[in-house]
Amino acid sequence: MFDEKDVILEAKHITRKFPASGGRTLTACSDVSLKLYKGKTLGLVGESGCGKSTFMRFLVSLDTPTEGEIFFHGKNITQLKGEELRQNRQYIQMVFQDPSASFNPKMKIRDIICEPLMNFKRIKASEKDAVARKFLEMVDLPGEFADRYPHNMSGGQRQRVAIARAIALEPEIIVMDEATCALDVSVQKTIIELVVGLQKQKNISIGFIAHDLGLIQSFAHQIAVMYLGTIVEVLPGEEISTSAMHPYTQALLGAVFDLNMDFSKKIESIESEAPSPLDVPPGCPFQNRCDRCMEICREKRPALIDVAKGHQVACHLYT
């Protein structure tokens, strides 16, 4: 299913360090390598604060990695500047985690949706109204919302405006950072069907960050699991609930609230202290929370190795 000639974007050994208080260094991403394939969806899951958004922001050139390179159609995009950078934006669009923060509060929804289209001269000013309405309706919002301001809408309505704006440009890659988490499950389903439909029609690649494992397995071709800045497992989307091998991935699966769960069950939780990107231990990043931790896990960082077709794990249990 994943043919090397279909790789549209490849991130190689991406590391991002931030200066932190007290002269310390925070490592948000550590040696991350991932590929996006044409017409396929890569799902990215992992603990809050593990570096998912930091990584995805590199794809849209909003930040530059401390180390590593990202190739889009074979061209390194981490060093783009000026007009080249601007042009590249139309091929890779991102829906941000915090949509309200990315809107100009003084602009009407019509202008918000049409801004990128106008910037790249894809439409004329006279077409704005019709275009805005068309895209609003695609994301299940009334066309009249074109006349509203972002603050006069609910959280989930704003989120859908952000999605409408990103798909309007028909980019080759769409990065969606928790782009459906404020939607009710029924609208969410509509949006996923819409996005998957567009993907099939136009062969779009999608990078999708989410916390809902059930959602991500419903349409991701490939899922990468991140923990404390590193990729600990990559596996085919449909296999997440059956073949996950990394103890962290298994812990995630065990913490899902499900309609068929036993509601009298006490909530299990990982008792140990939350890990910090300020003091990443040598060895495996998951060691202090892993109930199968061994001697070697405290000494040596496990490498990501192939365990099956399309399935890689970084864990000493499998080496």
Partner 1 sequence: MAMLELKDVTISYKNVPAVQNVNLSLEEGEICSIVGESGSGKTTVIRAVLGLLAGGGKVTKGDILFDGETLLTRSGEEWRKLRGTKISMIFQDSGAMMNPTRKIGDCFVEYIRTHENISKKDAWEKGVKMLENMRLPNGDNVMRSYPFQLSGGMRQRVGIAMGMTYQPKLLLADEPTSALDVTTQAQIIRQFMELREEYGTSIIMVTHNLGVAAYMSDYIVVMKDGIIEDEGTRDYILKGTRKEYTKTLLDAVPSLGGVRYV
Ligand X SMILES: Nc1ncnc2c1ncn2[C@@H]1O[C@H](COP(=O)(O)OP(=O)(O)OP(=O)(O)O)[C@@H](O)[C@H]1O
Select from 155-163, 243-251, 254-262, 285-293 the region that touches ligand X (CB under 6 A): 155-163
| Shortest distance, position 38 Cβ to partner 1, whole Å | 14
CB contact set of 156 (below 8 Å; sequence gap of 6+): 182, 183, 184, 187
- 91 belongs to the binding site for ligand X (CB under 6 A): no
| One-character DSSP codes across 47-87 | -TTSSHHHHHHHHTTSS--SEEEEEETTEE-TT--HHHHHH
Contacts with partner 1 in 22-81 (CB under 8 A)? 22, 24, 26, 41, 45-49, 52-54
DSSP-assigned beta bridge partners for residue 177? 209
156, 237, 283, 302: which one binds ligand X (CB under 6 A): 156
| Shortest distance, position 149 Cβ to partner 1, whole Å | 9
Q: Dmax of the chain from CA atoms?
A: 68
Closest CA to 231 of 311, 175, 295, 174: 311
Amino acid at the residue 276: S
Contacts with Mg ion in 139-198 (CB under 5 A)? 154-155
Closest to ligand X by CB, 253 vs 305, is 253
Dist. CA 272–CA 161, nearest whole Å: 40
- 192 belongs to the binding site for partner 1 (CB under 8 A): yes
| Shortest distance, position 166 Cβ to partner 1, whole Å | 17
6, 7, 17, 26: which one binds ligand X (CB under 6 A): 26
Dist. CA 244–CA 144, nearest whole Å: 46
Closest to ligand X by CB, 210 vs 297, is 210
- 172 belongs to the binding site for partner 1 (CB under 8 A): no
